[in-house]
Amino acid sequence: MSRSTIGQHIDELNNAGALEKMPDAYFRKHISYKAKRSMGKDILNDAKLRWNTGNVLFEQGKFADALKEFDAAISIDPNYANAYFNKALTEVTIGDFDSAIKNLNKVFALQPKSHDAAVVMGNIEVQKKNYTKAKQWYEKALEFYPDYYEAKIRLKTLKMLKKVNASLKKSKDMEEKYRKRAESNPYAQFNEAVIEAHKGNLNNAIKKLDIVLRLQPQSTLAPVLMGIIEGKKGNAANARGWYRKARKLNHDYEVNKKRFQKLLAERWDDDALTITQL
């Protein structure tokens, strides 16, 4: 019943030959001589052999074909719990969780204390990020089988995962808090504008500076940087307008202009920083 059953008896299933009337190519290919000799034409009606063939196909990564074999085993024996379980494992592997849950419930109907099925249920809930439900399933598996090592490991892993997710959430909350605070802080926005300009992301820098000017209309530094950016973009008239505004607001205009030119020189060449004289 556990995942280790996938691939069981593979050595017994070889390429000794094929029965003419077997419709499934993979099944014909892997039927052993011993099985053919003992069962003859009734071999197609053996649920365990169809289940075994499904296991081989699963190990080969041929999940669609494996599902067909498990379905064949179930059609032969509707009470074959192993077939439902391995079918569910295959569906989990391909991400079909809803179908897997249905088949695991059929396992529980046949084997109410299946610890393997409980663990797989928990694994599905982890994939769906329902960690509380996952914990309940792992604990239930241990109720059915107190020494079940895999269930114990899953519980420990789940605790670690919850801690990691809690830490990530805290980090994201802090980042969002900083972002909101920065959006209302003209100094933070101005610093980000300088960084964007230095990287050459001029449009992003302009957006940041627009926020600065909205929050702090009397800013004397933002117009200077706006002028430098417009000069870089080749908009001499716009650059001239921003420098005039900066001069009206601050008598240290020339000092600030040279300061920003020096700051951005590593990214822009001197020709690009040439400002039209007022």
Predicted local confidence at residue 273, as pLDDT: 39
Q: Cα(252)–Cα(140) distance, rounded to whole angstroms?
A: 74
What's the mean pLDDT in 236-257? Answer: 74
Domain membership of residue 245 (yes or no) is: yes
Per-residue pLDDT tens over the stretch 82-114: 999 999 999 999 999 999 999 999 999 999 999
Return the CATH number at 191: 1.25.40.10
Give CA angle at 230 (225, 233), nearest 5°.
130
- The two tokens of residue 1 are 């019943």
In a domain, 138, yes or no: no
3 state SS for 35-64:
HHHHHHHHHHHCHHHHHHHHHHHHHCCCHH
Q: Is the pLDDT of residue 25 over 60?
A: no
**Confidence band (pLDDT; 50, 70, 90) for 206?**
very high
Residue 6 has pLDDT above 70, yes or no: no
More confident residue, 264 or 232: 232
pLDDT at 265 over 90: no
pLDDT tens digits along 195-204: 888 888 999 9
Across 40-44, 131-135, 213-217, least confident range:
40-44
275 has a pLDDT exceeding 60: no
Residue 202 CA to residue 195 CA, distance in Å, equals 10
Helix 97-110, helix 115-127: angle, nearest 10: 160
Higher pLDDT, 263 or 114: 114
CA 60, distance to chain mean position in Å, is 25
Can you give the pLDDT at residue 232?
A: 84
Q: Mutual orientation of helices 221-232 and 236-249 as an angle, nearest 10°?
A: 170
Question: What gap in Å lies between CA 54 and CA 31, rounded to an integer?
Answer: 12
| 7-21 mean pLDDT | 36
Which pLDDT belongs to residue 34? 46
- Mean per-residue pLDDT for 270-276? 39
* pLDDT tops 50 at residue 5: no
In a domain, 147, yes or no: no
141 or 41, which is more confident? 141
| pLDDT at site 194 | 86
Q: Band of the pLDDT at 254, cuts 50, 70, 90?
A: low
| Mean of the per-residue pLDDT values of the chain | 77
Phi-psi region of 234 (alpha: psi -120 to 50; beta: other; left: phi over 0): left
User: What is the mean pLDDT of the segment spanning 174-193?
Assistant: 78
Q: Is residue 105 part of a domain?
A: no
Examine residue 212 and state whether it is found in any structural domain, yes or no. Answer: yes
Distance from the Cα of residue 261 to its chain's centroid? 44
Mean predicted confidence (pLDDT) in 163-169: 77
Q: Is position 172 within any domain?
A: no
- Residues spanned by the domain of 205: 184-273
Among candidates 272, 206, 277, 271, which has minimal Cα distance to 247? 277
Residue 131 counted as domain residue: no
The reported pLDDT for the residue numbered 252 is: 61
258 pLDDT band (50/70/90 cuts)?
low
For residues 248 and 62, the model is more confident at: 62
Report helix angle 236-249 to 253-264, nearest 10.
130
**What's the residue count for the chain?**
278
Q: How many domains does the chain have?
A: 1
In this predicted structure, the answer to whether residue 253 has a pLDDT above a threshold of 80 is no
pLDDT given for residue 122 in this prediction: 95
Tell whether 40 is covered by a domain: no
